[in-house]
Amino acid sequence: MSTIAAPTPKVKNAQPKDYNSPLFAELGLPSDPNNLYRQTVGCMLYGAEVMGLPNYLQQILAQPKNEIMVHFPVKMDDGRFQLFKGYRVQHNNALGPYKGGLRFHPDVHLDDVKSLAFLMTMKCSLVGVPYGGGKGGIKVDPRKHSKGEMERIVRRFTSAIAHNVGPEYDIPAPDVGSNSQHMAWIADTYTFLSEIGGSNPTAVVTGKPVEYGGSLGREKATGQGVVDTLVEMLPELNLRPDQCTFSVLGYGNVGSWSGKIFQDKGAKMIAVADHTGFIKNDKGIDAHDLAKYVDQHGGVKGYTKAGAITKEEFYRTKVDVFIPAALEQMVQETEAAWLDCKVVAEGANAPTTPAGERVLQGRGIEVLPAILCNAGGVTVSYFEWVQNKTFQSWELEKVDSLLNKHMLGAAARTRAARKKYNCELRTAAYIAALERLQKAYEFRGIFP
């Protein structure tokens, strides 16, 4: 039982505590308010109510179109066979092919993948790229397998889902636990399995190595987008990026790039946490140096230029900006009450639970929502796909400047929705995403 009293929201027109869409019961969504799928879809349905989205669209968007689960055997280095479980969820393709990452993690479940696929539909719509939403994964701990075992797992998974993906139909990308090497194996396996026509089958995935069809700027794109959003949104909160202090939860792709790029804008990183530990240095932690250390040692633990602290001390560290960039639901009621920051910039997907968010709202802490803040990754994935399909390679300056345009456009659409509906930023971001989807549905109609 929580001991934290429900606060009176200080954030203007915050989502009410007892919001309960009739669709939750109608569609048989889980009754637990902290269930990840109910959390993510619930935010969208609240935005839909505020803007008056027709019920049939709420119903369509509250459920994924396809949920694919596969089981496949792989030979381990010692000659034994192990059976693996893989997922691909295709949420919606009204705006274009399904698009979204592949998570390699031992705790991957269908509900998480459904939630993440749903978020991709919203994110792609908000940031203005012609994609729908999808997500997938393999229940596997990549740290526990040799390179050879991972290659066989990834290639066999690709062959199991090959008929359900494709450069014009569903385009995976990296997510937690997966990287550009894995994407290269997927692209190669898919190319081998597909009939070579006029197109480029390696466009079946993005986030590939630059040497093999990847785009300059893709690796850092999500962190770059987080910082582009911060630079755009902080002044209206009376904060200057070059005078900010910040802490980062998760120092993988998104966390480390957010840290490095925000530091390069003049901000100072005070505390960092990942699955290995929590560290702090009031004088600042060099984000580039820490990233090199994490690459070599697998985590922040043992980094001698900062002191080890507890989980509670990490969350209680006084900073201007807190960037959660690890897994979902890591800011619950307790962590939200501990946080001593002015802004939460959601680098991770769905890092804040509804209960956690109410505590933040009650304390007047602004949340820059994930579908806005972390949309940089899919945006540059789109650029990679365009380059693959047109056999081009763009300069980094072009990628960065187009990314910035998309991020600023998404921020402007979110602000406009906030003004029009007088709501907080998360609801506004969903409304801006829903407005584009609604227009597309109005034109295309429902077949037959």
Catalytic residue positions, numbered: 135
Q: Pick the binder of ligand NAD from 97, 167, 252, 259 (CB under 6 A).
A: 252
Spell out the alpha helix ranges (H) of 94-199. 110-127, 147-161, 180-193
Instruction: Compute the least distance from the CB of residue 376 to ligand NAD, in Å.
Output: 7
Phi-psi region of 146 (alpha: psi -120 to 50; beta: other; left: phi over 0): beta
Q: Which is nearer to ligand NAD, 175 or 366 (CB)?
A: 175
| 232 neighbors 408 (Cβ within 8 angstroms) | yes
The least distance separating ligand NAD from the CB of residue 384, rounded to whole angstroms, comes to 12
Instruction: Give the separation between CA 71 and CA 387, rounded to whole angstroms.
Output: 33
Please say which residue, 58 or 253, places its beta carbon nearer to ligand NAD.
253
Q: Which one of 255, 259, 356, 362 is in contact with ligand NAD (CB under 6 A)?
A: 255
CB-wise, 14 or 279, nearer to ligand NAD?
279
User: Is the CB of residue 255 less than 8 Å from the CB of residue 330?
Assistant: no
Q: Which two three-digit tokens encode residue 215?
A: 């785009």
Residue 277 host element (H or E): strand 277-280
When asked if residue 326 is in the footprint of ligand NAD (CB under 6 A), the reply is: yes
387 binds ligand NAD (CB under 6 A): no
Name which position in 251, 322, 383, 441 contacts ligand NAD (CB under 6 A). 251
C-beta of 183 vs 326, nearer to ligand NAD: 326
CB of 316 to ligand NAD, least distance (A): 16
Nearest residue (CB) to ligand NAD, 39 versus 58:
39
Q: How far is the CB of 218 from ligand NAD (least distance, A)?
A: 8
Q: CB of residue 272 vs ligand NAD: minimum separation in angstroms?
A: 9
What are the two backbone dihedrals, phi and then psi, of residue 324, each rounded to the nearest 5 degrees? -75, 120
SS3 readout for 338-377: HCECCEEECCCCCCECHHHHHHHHHCCCEEECHHHHCCHH
Q: Is 190 near ligand NAD (CB under 6 A)? A: no
Which residues within the stretch 90-119 sit at the binding site for ligand NAD (CB under 6 A)?
none
Q: Rule CB under 6 A: say whether 309 interacts with ligand NAD.
A: no
Question: What's the CA gap between 365 and 353, in Å, rounded?
Answer: 14
* Footprint of ligand NAD on 331-370 (CB under 6 A): 347-349
How far apart (Å, rounded) are the C-alpha atoms in residues 241 and 267? 6
Residue (of 8, 45, 7) closest to 25 by Cα position: 45
253 binds ligand NAD (CB under 6 A): yes
Strand partners, 74: 82
Footprint on this chain of ligand NAD (rule: CB under 6 A)? 174-177, 222, 250-255, 273-275, 299, 325-327, 347-349, 374, 377
